[in-house]
Amino acid sequence: MLKNLSKFPLIAGAVFSFCTTVSAAEVNPAPVEKENIEMPEYLVYGVAHDVAQKIFPFSIEGRYFSPHMDINVKSDKIRYRDGSVGLKSDLGFGNDNAPEVILRYKRFTMDYIRVHGTGEREFTKAAPLLFGGTNLRGTVNSESEFHYLKLQITNPVVSAFGSGVDWSYGITGIYWKGSAEGTENGTGRNIHKSEKFGVPVPTLGIGAHASLLPEIKAYAHISGLPLGGYGHFYDFEAGIRYNPTDFLGIDVGYRKIHANIKHKNDSGNFTLSGPYAGLRFDF
């Protein structure tokens, strides 16, 4: 190694002599026209945003989800006229807002939605409501809680200039708990009953996003799984995100969650569909 270093002064001198000779010569080469390649501004922004996401991979988003709710359940302990019980059609529930929180870390996403509502409806002695294994009549006051938790891993298929396609896999938990209070048919006593229904569902999904303008991105994603004799499930959303800064996003879009789950004599049909607006922070 020392032997090689001893040649360094000779090499440095030769390089210096060459540079001096070239700079002293009057060389006027013909101008060469260089091709001016300009990347569109929205593509530059897309690349910058992708880099920011790699450096700061954590984000949190709060959404105001205003869905049309349609939930029907049926089991050996919940029936009305020998059929399913509809929260809107039979128990008098309205459409309730559904607060939603989404946490993202690198490729992992956790999405949680909660829908709470109350209803009031009259039932006759001849056509009571079976709830919790007890026939209720008169004025029946009911309450419902619907919880939705989606855990998902996203894997890019192709990504360039702020646009791309990805696929995902994960698991979704659906949990419903309902209660009803009314007069027990036959005894006249005031009775309060509750029931619950929950199921985990594995999912596969595909999504895409594209930069439309420097600060605007469109996206869509669908996930779900056919469950054969156990029913089916899917979750679809499409929206537009406006980024006034690299770390702040405003989302508007439409989402539909539908699950038809069957197990023995129990069944649940859940649909939440409607617009949403959200505020996202990228850290």
The answer to whether residue 24 is domain-embedded is no
Predicted TM-score of the model (pTM): 0.76
The answer to whether residue 23 is domain-embedded is no
CATH of the domain at 144: 2.40.128
The answer to whether residue 32 is domain-embedded is no
The answer to whether residue 183 is domain-embedded is yes
- For 124-162, where are the E strands, in sequence order? 129-131, 134-160
- Is the model's pLDDT at 180 over the cut of 90? yes
The answer to whether residue 12 is domain-embedded is no
Cα(238)–Cα(262) distance, rounded to whole angstroms?
Answer: 28
The answer to whether residue 9 is domain-embedded is no
- Is the model's pLDDT at 150 over the cut of 70? yes
Top mean pLDDT of 66-80, 88-102, 140-154 is at: 140-154
Q: Cα dist. 244→42, 45, 81, 248 in Å?
A: 13, 11, 54, 6
- Is the model's pLDDT at 12 over the cut of 90? no
Range 43-54 burial, b when 16+ CB lie within 10 A, else e: bebbeebbeeee
pLDDT in tens, 30-45: 444 444 445 555 455 4
pLDDT in tens, 112-124: 999 998 999 999 9
Alpha carbon 246 to its chain centroid, in Å, reads 20
| DSSP label of 91 | T
The answer to whether residue 35 is domain-embedded is no
| DSSP label of 230 | G
pLDDT at 1: 41
Say how many C-beta atoms besides its own lie within 10 A of residue 65's C-beta: 21
DSSP 168-216: EEEEEEEEEEEEEEEEETTT--EEEEEEEEEEEEEEEEEEEEEEEETTE
pLDDT at 21: 45
- What's the total number of domains in the chain? 1
The answer to whether residue 232 is domain-embedded is yes
* Residue 263 belongs to domain spanning: 41-282
